[in-house]
Amino acid sequence: MSMPVYTNASERFPCDDDILEAAPENPVRFLAGSDLAWQAMVDGIDSLERLEAYRQAEKRHIQRENPSEKTRVHKYIDNRERELTGSVSEPTSEETSDEDREPPVRSPTPETTPDAEADPVPATDGGTELSYSEEDTATDEPDVSDEPEADPGPTEPSDLETHPDATALEAGRVLVVELETEDDEPAVTEYVWPAEPGADLPYILESHTDDAADPEQLTLSKADLFDRVRNDNPEERPIADVPIDAPAGAATGGAE
């Protein structure tokens, strides 16, 4: 493994130089940030070499408290790789050979049918002995193949708590961005919520300025939001730790 180097963008994120050759933006910087940051970067990758750099950066440099989080990142990268290659999960060569193999041909087993005349079947109707064929017909199950299937009812539009593209935030979570301003300028704080499943865009942003009566509100796509906060340091908080009310259409997960 090559020796780690430090980028000019930040000395906080050491990264091996072979990774930086394929991804000069330093994948470690984004993988160490919020889900919004690394997911937006991975979504925008159109080179397998650069995508592999993100995979190696996650593997070598990122320490996560929960191992399942690393698995989630790797799966996200794997999904992007499948999108780029146009491939889908396929069975292994062993599974394929088993499926393609012709099933063995078996000789039919001769069935022994009792002689209706020689061996009458004991009666089941109170006295008359039935032949084999008569009793067989009498005890056949009714044919229900033509009966209509039960209607499962209307399908819910979605079981999701948030917009399907709001992958960076769970319902009830908020991104908080403290914008840098000059000393003589009022402080500005931006809050980002995931939108509800039926919304047109996945995120709702409110920008609060200290001297403004009303906040500015925007709805944003994932890419638009990433472009807006990529140079800042957003912090994810539970909705209970945010000092303002959630806007209409925000996915709160029932939190107040």
Q: 206: pLDDT confidence band, cut at 50, 70 and 90?
A: very high
- What residues does each domain of the chain span? 4-85, 173-241
Q: Are 141 and 133 in contact (CB under 8 A)?
A: no
3-state SS assignment for residue 156: coil
Q: Tens digit of pLDDT for each residue in 58-83?
A: 999 999 988 899 999 999 999 999 99
CA-based nearest residue to 123, from 115, 132, 114: 132
Amino acid, res. 196: E
Q: Tens digit of pLDDT for each residue in 129-187?
A: 555 555 455 555 555 555 555 554 443 444 568 998 888 888 888 989 888 788 888 88
pLDDT of 124 above 80: no
The whole-chain average pLDDT of the chain stands at: 76
Q: What's the pLDDT score for residue 140?
A: 54
Q: Tens digit of pLDDT for each residue in 69-120?
A: 999 999 999 999 999 998 765 544 444 444 444 555 555 555 555 554 555 5
> What is the pTM for the complete model shown?
0.51
CA-based nearest residue to 251, from 169, 165, 157: 169
Sign of the C-alpha dihedral computed for residues 163, 167, 168 and 173 taken in this order: positive
